[in-house]
């Protein structure tokens, strides 16, 4: 199956700092990647859709200046949480969409647990 790597798996940072999370498709190219946020014992909420070579599409209520998304290559998308605050503490998980025979199935990374002190 398709493999998506997400790094780091866990990050603790001080309030006011910025944190970058990477999402890589290891064995396939992904023109589209997605970023989700998951609160404890809750479902995944889509934050934004990341398309290679173009600006990300953000869901309503998601601050694009706070959650910067860059999809510079077909195998890498990054999410930067700028000036993080304790309320940004959450589990962030990315997915990459596979084309071809297994068309349009999202494969997910292992997630990044962000704790802002």
Partner 1 sequence: AQKVTQAQTEISVVEKEDVTLDCVYETRDTTYYLFWYKQPPSGELVFLIRRNSFDEQNEISGRYSWNFQKSTSSFNFTITASQVVDSAVYFCALSEGGTGANNLFFGTGTRLTVIP
Q: Please report, as ranges, the residues that interact with partner 1 according to CB under 8 A.
A: 1, 9, 32, 34, 41-44, 46, 49, 91, 93, 95, 97, 103-111, 113
Contact 81, 66 (CB under 8 A): yes
Pairing between strand 32-38 and 44-51?
A: antiparallel
Structure tokens at 33: 């990647």
Minimum Å gap between C-beta 63 and partner 1 is 19
Minimum Å gap between C-beta 100 and partner 1 is 13
Q: Is the peptide bond before 8 cis (omega within 30 degrees of 0)?
A: yes
Give whichever of 82 and 108 is closer to partner 1, judged by the CB atom. Answer: 108
Beta partners for 91? 38, 113
Minimum Å gap between C-beta 77 and partner 1 is 16
Give whichever of 43 and 54 is closer to partner 1, judged by the CB atom. Answer: 43
């Amino acid at each position: 199956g398709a493999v998506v790597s997400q790094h780091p798996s866990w990050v603790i940072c001080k309030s006011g700092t910025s944190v970058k999370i990477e999402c890589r498709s290891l064995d396939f190219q992904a023109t589209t990647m997605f970023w989700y946020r998951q609160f404890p014992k809750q479902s995944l909420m889509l934050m934004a859709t990341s398309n290679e070579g173009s600006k990300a599409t953000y869901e309503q209520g998601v601050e694009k200046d706070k959650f910067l998304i860059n999809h510079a290559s077909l195998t890498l998308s990054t999410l930067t949480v700028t000036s993080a605050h304790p309320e940004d503490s959450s589990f962030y998980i990315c997915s990459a969409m596979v084309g071809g025979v297994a068309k349009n199935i999202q494969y997910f990374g292992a997630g990044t647990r962000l704790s802002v002190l």
